[in-house]
Structure 1
Amino acid sequence: MSWWMWVVLWTVLVLISGAVLAILLFRLWRQFSRMLHDLGDYGDSVTQRLDQATAEPAVTDHHPRRPDVYTPWREARKQYRSGTLERRTARSQRRSARRRAMGQPQKVSDLTR
Structure 2
Amino acid sequence: MPWWSWILVWVALVSLSLLFFVVMGVRLFRQFMATVKELGEAGDKLTRIPVPAAVSAGTDAAPDANVIGVPPGMAPFAPPHQMRHDYHASKEARREARRQRRVRRKAERGQPQSLRDIEFR
TM-score, structure 2 normalization: 0.45
- The higher-RCO structure (CA 8 Å, 6+ apart) is 1
TM-score, structure 1 normalization: 0.48
